[in-house]
A and B are shown apart, each in its own frame.
Chain A
């Protein structure tokens, strides 16, 4: 890349591109004027405003700018680096520039969006941050991405339907796969279920077929009664310790899929729950499976312990579970009276809505209840305020079935810490982006599927199992990977400054810093995410955060406030 090196040695020649983002930015400030003013900044040789700089047209404009004006630094002022920095870096790289000679200036998320009501001030701020961005761009240095090898093996944690599906797919794609299950058998929640909606097929039928495929797959190794004890390393290169009985099994793994599933809420203290006359849907399934259900007056209450102050969410599967069990009972004994007390009946899509209709046709009674006037459970009757007729009605029962939510596993926290991935407020695992990266974690090489992420039914567990496998395969299919180059470093020339105080080791959230045999600080580059915490806490300024050096940041501050 002779062309690239030549450009970097030259005087900085900066191009600035101001994005309107449709009217997200352009609707509030005069982008043309921002571009005009940027023209007068030091080393800026070209500026332009674009309707959407990220569009193919916008990217072509950047490339044209680089070619025609011999630019060696590019600044884009637009939405957010979170979504768009990779795109612009790739764009300038295609024109032969080092991708780190690009600087992103945020004038949408942190400017026109938050200062919508004071567009005059937003305009001033846009000019300020562009000026700062240009000052930093002048000091940018080319960096190399780090290349690491990838071990073509996968670890799937959790042997329920999602985990088994993921593991089978990956092994069928040709990757050696290890499936770790804490129980003494595969199957997860499928083991506790009687029949599965909406086909009313026996759970064991699906489970046995899956298990057979898993057990007969030569590339798939199953460890039951086993847990993951330790995880070291990084994408493509994990060192895992699996504990099975007294044995510790070491594994070399490229990608990890989290499919640990979920737990059932126990409704202690709700509606007189006693596990006998007042039971959960899960306990009802045990009765149905063993053929010991003799009751004729059955009432079910939905959202027990869900959609309340301490647990705000809807658990997704309980309405369908109630319908399924009610239909099974009706099928067996059409004279059984079944009443379902619900808040909002959750049967989305075509299959489930049809199931709901079927339940109504079979004579199952549905009564809406307002959570502010919750049903009252007495010895043999339930009193519920029927909003529609405006009075309280009494329903006799000999079996009360409570539909309780799925809740996050208590062990999630420990696993999350080991994997260095986050949990959301209810204790479920938190994905990288709710909308467009549903199976990924922010940490590369770790993926998520099934109810570990959020309560889902069998159908979604299967699709998510495949989906996580697909995401893992996008890594495992490569011999090598490129990792971000803007990392923390302790340069040779700064080593004398390091006092060995170890504060950086303590604060690093990614466990990327350690001491070697010579008692020297070592930063494992591929583990480092470039967050900068170590650099900020290093009292002697020995640590340098590449792409965010003291010199670059000071240049920005000077540009903002003048010297």
Chain B
């Protein structure tokens, strides 16, 4: 039973349903405040849903996240709009009006049983699934992953034969629940009496804007990004967690992890991506758990591990998981006749130029601001910083440049999950002040 505190009729709009947006929405919902959670993807969970395990506890990521996804979906105070974006706002702090544009899913939520019959009969094949870092393909009737929330399929309008050419319609005929609805149109949903807005747009990755050719990515098949590696070692990923090279299916025995890819770099992003030292160690640990003969080499500039239990985690990596840390700079990567990458590097401790051969190279690519930030900033009228993150002040870290619009997590700076969760609660607290009229 929620206590009446003044006029609680005002709501909060949260943009982005990754772990930060979800936490902000849950806190506000639990305070008895109405929340509209707006997510541009077909499902919620963001980057965290894609991860295999999480540092420093090695908890299975989806296992600890899934209950929060469900809670969000079932929460009486949270209205979830997926495939949706904020397209317009009016008003000011304490009294915004927000217009949400909801794109058609072509499958009725609440009717779809998530059985997958539409996906199996659909003749369109080879549509990359972003959730599996594009390593797996789907049909045009798709769902990102089995535990996705909402548990509803979606017809991808870019590739669907019916929507583009008016032919096929097999899914419509095959659906036992009568959930397919090709007549769905874009819908504009006005949300009035909004007290505050929270921007939690999260991140994209360097590979989304850069070919990474200089590191051999897309040139050599045995050079993968950390997100691809994350999916490859994940039990629910394309190789069911049994790591194999992408060229000849060998089990890699020696893996190189290259740090600061496109970060701390004058030509690309000059900032530190904050989370790579830790997730690299985690990835090497998980890979070792699959194969105890594995040797991992981490090529780094500075090992940045300031969070709770992080140093201990790195020490454990070195002592128990056969991880060797080399303070170094990479010169270049080539491959031998077996497509095994050979790395030429300068060891910064001995000042020697050396070469080493590996079975697989993993690039710890930089976190970049969500590619949607520019558009959202324009709609909301908020400032971005020079890197295109939401601009904040170090001593007002949750406030955007517009009163009543708050931000949290990687939308404003690269950070790890615990910090994102904390900031999300923080943003909820600030929004609650406004909504409760304090």
Contact = CB atoms under 8 A, between A and B. Distances in A.
Interface string B58-79: 0110111111101101100000
A22 B311 contact: no
A353 B428 contact: no
Given A169-B429, A198-B394, A83 B63 contact: yes
A347 B394 contact: no
Contacts of B148: 55
Contacts of A24: 60, 63, 235
A54 B147 contact: yes
A61 to B, nearest CB: 10
A345 B302 contact: yes
Nearest to B151: A56
A193 to B, nearest CB: 13
Interface stretch (A281-289, A457-465, A486-494): A457-465
B240 A206 contact: no
Interface string B98-117: 00000000000000011000
Given A87-B70, A438-B421, A349 B414 contact: yes
B240 A23 contact: yes
Contacts of B396: 462
B271 A354 contact: yes
A435 B57 contact: yes
A465 B393 CA distance: 16
Contact of B426 (A54, A150, A463): A463
Contacts of A439: 422, 425
Interface residues of A, number: 87
Contact of A387 (B2, B60, B350): B350
A362 interface: no
A537 to B, nearest CB: 32
Contact of B32 (A201, A316, A459, A478): A478
Interface string B268-295: 0011101000000000000000000000
Contacts of A387: 348-351
B395 A196 contact: yes
A52 B148 CA distance: 10
A480 B1 CA distance: 6
Contact of B436 (A52, A86, A173, A351): A173
A314 B235 CA distance: 32
Nearest to A481: B1
B421 A436 contact: yes
B418 interface: yes
B123 to A, nearest CB: 25
A87 B421 CA distance: 20
B385 A169 contact: no
A324 to B, nearest CB: 12
B166 interface: no
A56 B304 contact: no
Contacts of B424: 467
A142 to B, nearest CB: 22
Interface in A143-178: 150, 152, 169, 171-174
Given A22-B236, A174-B5, A353-B271, A462 B425 contact: no
A361 to B, nearest CB: 12
Contact of B235 (A27, A348, A350, A462): A27
Contacts of B249: none
Interface in A435-459: 435-439, 453-454, 458-459
Contacts of B304: 344, 346-348
Interface in B16-57: 19, 27, 30-32, 54, 56-57
Contacts of B421: 435-438
Interface stretch (A326-334, A469-477, A521-529, A549-557): A469-477
Contacts of A86: 67
Contacts of B63: 21, 24, 79, 83
Nearest to B312: A312
B270 A353 contact: yes
B312 A313 contact: yes
B395 A199 contact: yes
Interface string B311-325: 110010000000000
B398 A466 contact: yes
A29 to B, nearest CB: 14
B387 interface: yes
A57 interface: yes
Contact of B348 (A23, A388, A453): A388
Contacts of B398: 462-463, 466
B144 to A, nearest CB: 12
A479 B147 contact: no
Interface string B401-438: 00000001000011101110111111111101100101
Contact of A354 (B31, B146, B270, B393): B270
29 contacts: A22-B235, A23-B240, A27-B235, A54-B66, A55-B147, A169-B432, A172-B436, A173-B432, A313-B309, A348-B304, A349-B271, A350-B272, A350-B413, A354-B270, A368-B327, A424-B309, A428-B308, A434-B309, A435-B417, A435-B418, A435-B421, A436-B19, A436-B418, A438-B422, A458-B394, A460-B419, A470-B27, A470-B31, A477-B32
Interface of A: 21-24, 27, 51-52, 54-57, 59-60, 79, 83-84, 86-87, 90, 150, 152, 169, 171-174, 196-199, 201, 206, 307, 312-316, 344-354, 357, 368, 370, 387-390, 424, 428, 433-439, 453-454, 458-460, 462-471, 473-474, 476-480
Closest A-B pairs by Cβ, 7 of them: A466-B426, A172-B438, A350-B271, A467-B425, A470-B429, A56-B151, A22-B236
Given A55-B151, A346-B306, A476-B3, 11 more contacts: A55-B147, A57-B114, A173-B433, A348-B274, A349-B274, A349-B415, A387-B350, A436-B19, A436-B417, A438-B419, A467-B423
